[in-house]
Amino acid sequence: MIKKTLRLIEEQIGIQLKLCDYFTGLRETRGTGERYFNVVLDVRTSESREYTNLEQYSKKYGSIRVEPNGFKRVAIFPNGA
């Protein structure tokens, strides 16, 4: 699921993302049990053009949902990808 989602993102918006090597693999949120994985950006999420592009793609197509999950870390929630 992770590889498929990363490939979809790269094909659709041209961004190659790096998986987080600290919080690895597919994880689940507490309470809702939503599945997600973490990627790491080169710059802060608040200053990242990549994060902005991910957010816009997420809102437009709904195949993923993204949330900041740290200083440079982003949680990606695949929606059936």
Domain span at residue 23 reads 2-78
pLDDT of residue 54: 96
Overall pTM surpassing 0.85 (yes/no): yes
Q: Assign residue 67 a region (left: φ > 0; alpha: ψ between -120 and 50; beta: otherwise).
A: beta
Domain count of the chain?
1
The pLDDT profile of the chain, 81 residues, written as one tens digit per residue, is: 999 999 999 999 999 999 999 989 999 999 898 999 999 999 999 999 999 999 999 999 999 999 999 999 999 999 854
Please say whether the dihedral angle defined by the alpha carbons of residues 51, 54, 56 and 62, taken in this order, is positive or negative: negative
